[in-house]
């Protein structure tokens, strides 16, 4: 295994009775990487994380951490530490003792354990809180104590299971940035579980999007966002705008798609497995779509006439829900960078044109017999 790989998961599955919670997952996590497992409730994120930590044994497959096969090792023999969603602090112990607790089992002298615990608390900016009990802390502070406790053990890999779930929106955003900075400055490997796509995008170097026990896409975070490979990933990343077309030709890496628009759409193809007449599904992100009063065909724009079904004012954006004449529904985000009144040139029930630049068309990977190809 390469020097720079921290965790290697090889065809790992986990069954609970007949139910397959994790289905033959293979992936590698690099040293010093912020790696996220992202997916909806029940897709197997926690189960996979617990197998890395040793709290659950795989039904099949192997797990290596560093150079070592840890598949059958108990948690305390693995160079990892886990931060659970419910911080699991000892309620009767002061903050400092909570953080020093595990260190005392590491055969550190009491004085060294206290020193290390103080350093860890400083890392999460909790100096001065050493003598408080968990009940005397806010949710965000408790979260940081749990983090300090895990960091104090100096694990090679830190596993975090939705650690920010209990925090309010504002605090959550603050702690996201703090955690990311801490991870980067210490050069630690983080495996982070979340079902929040924005959180994953904010923090991660790479993201594995999971669906029903499988990894559906693993890519750099901006790549998962901008180039989803499947409809599931596109939907999960907030782009529920699907179109159907047919391949006209593939030449010089450019795919020509005939859709129900006047012109063909030419897009860069990510695979050369396409053939003429293949059915093709593609997606356009809501913020890349525009609503127009006229068919905007300048600069090769694609334009489809639609009926406006709904309008939701969200402060930063106005969300338009429109329907094509085929009955497909699309979501358009209009940034509210003009006075609010101006968007009243459109009304619910009226007709308008939905337009986009063809370069913003993202083609879903080709499927044959339900399997992705190319």
- Alpha helix segments (H runs only) across the chain: 45-53, 95-104, 110-123, 139-152, 169-186, 197-203, 221-226, 231-236
44 near ligand ATP, rule: CB under 6 A: yes
Site string for ligand ATP, 162-201 (x = CB under 6 A): ---------------------------------x------
Please choose, from the candidates 116, 141, 146, the residue with its C-alpha nearest in 3D space to the C-alpha of residue 128: 141
Closest by alpha carbon to 361, among 291, 292, 289?
Answer: 289
* Cβ at position 143, least distance to ligand ATP in Å: 17
46 part of the interface to Mg ion, by CB under 5 A: yes
Q: Annotate 161-199 with DSSP letters as a single string.
A: ESTTTTS-HHHHHHHHHHHHHHHHHHT-EEEEEES-HHH
Cβ at position 104, least distance to ligand ATP in Å: 31
Nearer to ligand ATP, 45 or 149 (CB): 45
36 near Mg ion, judged by CB under 5 A: no
Do residues 9 and 26 make contact, with C-beta atoms less than 8 angstroms apart?
yes
Q: Does 116 bind ligand ATP (CB under 6 A)?
A: no
- By CB under 5 A, the count of residues binding Mg ion is 1
Using the minimum distance from each CB to ligand ATP, give the nearer residue, 88 or 373: 88
Measure the CA–CA gap between 149 and 143, rounded to whole angstroms: 10
| Residue 41 touches ligand ATP, criterion: CB under 6 A | yes
Contacted entry of Mg ion, ligand ATP, none for residue 41, CB cut-off 5 to 8 Å set by kind? ligand ATP
Choose between 46 and 361: whose C-beta lies nearer to Mg ion: 46
Which of Mg ion, ligand ATP, none lies near 209, with the C-beta cut-off 5 to 8 A by kind? none
Total chain residues near ligand ATP (CB under 6 A): 12
26-29's contacts with Cβ under 8 Å and 24+ in sequence apart are: 26/61, 26/215, 27/208, 27/215, 27/218, 29/5, 29/157, 29/189, 29/191
Residue 21 interface partner, choices Mg ion, ligand ATP, none, CB cut-off 5-8 Å depending on type = ligand ATP
C-alpha pair distances (Å), 227 with each of 71, 217, 243, 290: 34, 10, 15, 19
Residue 186: count of CB within 10 angstroms of its CB: 13
Dist CA 250 CA 247 (whole Å): 8
**Contact region with ligand ATP (CB under 6 A), list: 41-49, 120-128, 238-246, 255-263:** 41-49
Chosen from ligand ATP, Mg ion, none, partner binding at 105 (C-beta under 5 to 8 Å by type): none
Rg of the chain over all Cα atoms, to the nearest angstrom? 25
Which does residue 53 bind out of Mg ion, ligand ATP, none, counting CB within 5 to 8 angstroms by kind? none
Assess 194 for contact with Mg ion (CB under 5 A).
Answer: no
47 binds, among Mg ion, ligand ATP, none (CB under 5 to 8 A by kind): ligand ATP
Taking the C-alpha atoms of residue 206 and residue 28, their distance in angstroms, rounded to an integer, is: 11
Question: Under 8 Å CB-to-CB from 347, ≥6 apart: which residues?
Answer: 308
Q: Of the candidates 8, 36, 45, 225, which one interacts with ligand ATP according to CB under 6 A? A: 45
| Burial of 222: CB neighbours in 10 Å, binned 0-12, 13-18, 19+ | exposed
Q: Which of residues 13-32 bind ligand ATP (CB under 6 A)?
A: 16, 19, 21
Per rule CB under 6 A, is residue 65 in the interface with ligand ATP?
A: no
Q: Which one, 194 or 221, has the nearer CB to ligand ATP?
A: 194
Q: How far apart are CA 64 and CA 157, in angstroms?
A: 12
Residue 43 interacts with which of ligand ATP, Mg ion, none, CB < 5 to 8 Å by class? ligand ATP
- Residue 16 or 105: the one with the smaller Cβ distance to ligand ATP is 16
Q: Which residues bind Mg ion (CB under 5 A)?
A: 46
Q: Which residues bind ligand ATP (CB under 6 A)?
A: 16, 19, 21, 39, 41-47, 195
């Amino acid at each position: 295994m390469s020097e720079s790989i921290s965790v290697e998961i090889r065809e790992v599955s986990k069954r609970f009775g007949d139910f397959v919670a994790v289905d033959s997952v293979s992936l590698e996590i690099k040293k010093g990487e912020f790696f996220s497992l992202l997916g909806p409730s029940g897709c197997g994120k926690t189960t996979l994380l617990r197998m890395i930590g040793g709290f659950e044994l795989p039904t099949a497959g192997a797990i290596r951490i560093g150079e070592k096969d840890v598949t059958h090792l108990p948690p305390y023999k693995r160079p990892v530490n886990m931060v659970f969603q419910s911080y699991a602090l000892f309620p009767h112990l002061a903050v400092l003792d909570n953080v020093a607790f595990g260190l005392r089992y590491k055969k550190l002298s009491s004085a060294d354990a206290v020193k290390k615990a103080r350093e860890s608390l400083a890392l999460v900016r909790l100096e001065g809180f050493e003598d408080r009990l968990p009940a005397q802390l806010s949710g965000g502070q408790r979260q940081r104590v749990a983090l300090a406790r895990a960091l104090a053990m100096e694990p090679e890999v830190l596993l975090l299971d939705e650690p920010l779930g209990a925090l309010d929106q504002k605090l959550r955003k603050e702690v996201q940035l703090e955690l990311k900075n801490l991870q980067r400055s210490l050069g630690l490997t983080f495996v982070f579980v979340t079902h929040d796509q924005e959180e994953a995008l904010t923090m991660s170097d790479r993201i594995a999007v999971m669906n029903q026990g499988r990894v559906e896409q693993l890519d750099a975070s901006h790549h998962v966002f901008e180039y989803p490979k499947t409809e599931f990933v596109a939907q999960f990343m907030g782009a529920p705008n699907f179109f159907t077309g047919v391949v006209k030709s593939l030449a010089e890496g450019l795919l020509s798609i005939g859709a129900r628009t006047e012109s063909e759409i030419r897009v860069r193809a990510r695979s050369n497995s396409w053939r003429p007449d293949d059915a093709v599904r593609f997606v356009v992100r809501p913020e890349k779509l525009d609503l127009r009063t006229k068919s905007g065909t300048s600069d090769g724009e694609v334009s489809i006439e639609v009926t406006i079904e709904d309008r939701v004012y969200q402060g930063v954006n106005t969300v338009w829900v429109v329907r094509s004449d085929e009955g497909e529904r699309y979501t358009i985000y209009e940034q509210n960078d003009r006075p609010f009144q101006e968007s009243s040139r459109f009304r619910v029930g009226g007709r308008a044109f939905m337009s986009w630049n063809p370069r913003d068309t993202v083609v879903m990977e080709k499927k044959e017999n339900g399997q992705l190809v190319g």
